[in-house]
Amino acid sequence: MKNFDLATSPMVAVWETTRADAPYSGAISPDWESRELSATEAEKLIRDVAEMRAPVFVFAGANPLLRPEIYSLVRYACSCGLRPTMVLSDSPVLTRKAILKLKSSGLSRLGLTLQGSNAGLHEELSAAQGSFPRTIQAMRWANECRVPLQMHTELCRSNVGDLENMASLLKSFRMLVWSLSFPVPEEKSRSAEIFTADELERIFERIYDMAQTVPFKVKTVEADHYRRYVTQRRTLFRVEKSGSNAMPFREEGIPGVLPIHEGRGSVFITSTGEVFPNRHISVSGGNIRKEKLKEIYRCSHLFRAFRDTANLKGKCGRCEFKEMCGGSRARAWVLAGDMFAADDSCGYQPALAYKAG
């Protein structure tokens, strides 16, 4: 992974298979449905991702199982050499039979969402009655069918106090990764939804301590400064152990977690083929109906700019952690209206940084 060239290949390619989500948000309009990528276009997208050798390909979207050809697309992705993942929410179509069919189609990993350790909290945040027992059941089925499991949680003020309880619950399942997403408000006026820099440092401390006690990896999304936090904690540990006060920061990465920040090595392909840097930044580098994905990723002004950390502004621009972190470009986009602005939800001050001796 160390020699992976982000200029030619993304680490992660996520395809929003569909925006349909029956029975919750309901079916999409026939007009929108007719605009979503056809099965043939989806196969072309899969070939493009495989040609770029992206290590992670994710079938995402409101409910991928509502695409009738989804199983054959999983098989097709495998035949092209990809190891596909699928992220699903609970729904009546997420059955044991569906999980078994995904497995026999070659799915490498199943992602499910858990918003709390109990029905009240999970269902309040999911806005779906009965969702908690269905999610737990789907997790059991995944374990029984031996489909590797990855869990997702969108952290917010309501469930952050439940973090350790969720970790205890998850420990009773066999799973690979717990992915914790931090809030990106839909618009600037909702900035109260995000955690302050001080709150985040305390949450990072809890995540780090909890991560030492669970048998799965823990990663953060839209909080890449957790990598900075982990690096600082490990450096502090080495300093204390060695008695030296001149220990440089060393990026060791987080085992089992890809060594990138979202903006630099990801592509998000919408259900109509637009290519965004991630799902929160609805700025398109191009459309796969008109150009090949690799042309958009490698050559578009947008993606080239995203990969270049020289474009980062403010404290993120002069931070020694910017290659491993870079801050949340999505939060900068929503809050500052500038994708390259500093991420103010980070409390680190580069000007006061520890200097290698």
Binding site for ligand SF4 (CB under 6 A): 225, 228, 315-316, 319, 321-322, 325-327, 343, 346, 348, 350
Distance between CA 3 and CA 160 in Å, rounded? Answer: 36
Choose between 111 and 277: whose C-beta lies nearer to ligand SF4. Answer: 277
How far apart are CB 325 and ligand SF4 at their closest, in Å?
3
Choose between 19 and 227: whose C-beta lies nearer to ligand SF4. Answer: 227
How far apart are CB 353 and ligand SF4 at their closest, in Å?
9
Choose between 47 and 313: whose C-beta lies nearer to ligand SF4. Answer: 313
205 in Cβ contact with 166 (< 8 Å): no
How far apart are CB 7 and ligand SF4 at their closest, in Å?
20
Taking each helix axis from N to C end, the angle separating 163-170 and 197-211, rounded to the nearest 10 degrees, works out to 20
Choose between 87 and 319: whose C-beta lies nearer to ligand SF4. Answer: 319
Question: Dihedral of CA 41/42/47/48: which sign?
Answer: positive
- In degrees, to the nearest 5, what angle opens at C-alpha 236 toward C-alphas 261 and 352? 70
Structure token digits, residue 284 = 């398109």
Choose between 118 and 196: whose C-beta lies nearer to ligand SF4. Answer: 196
How far apart are CB 326 and ligand SF4 at their closest, in Å?
5
Three-state DSSP at 57 gives strand
227 in Cβ contact with 321 (< 8 Å): yes
How far apart are CB 312 and ligand SF4 at their closest, in Å?
7
Give the β-pairing of 177-181 and 56-60: unpaired
185 in Cβ contact with 194 (< 8 Å): yes
Structure token digits, residue 199 = 């709150």
Choose between 21 and 201: whose C-beta lies nearer to ligand SF4. Answer: 201
Neighbour tally for 198: CB within 10 Å: 10
How far apart are CB 347 and ligand SF4 at their closest, in Å?
8
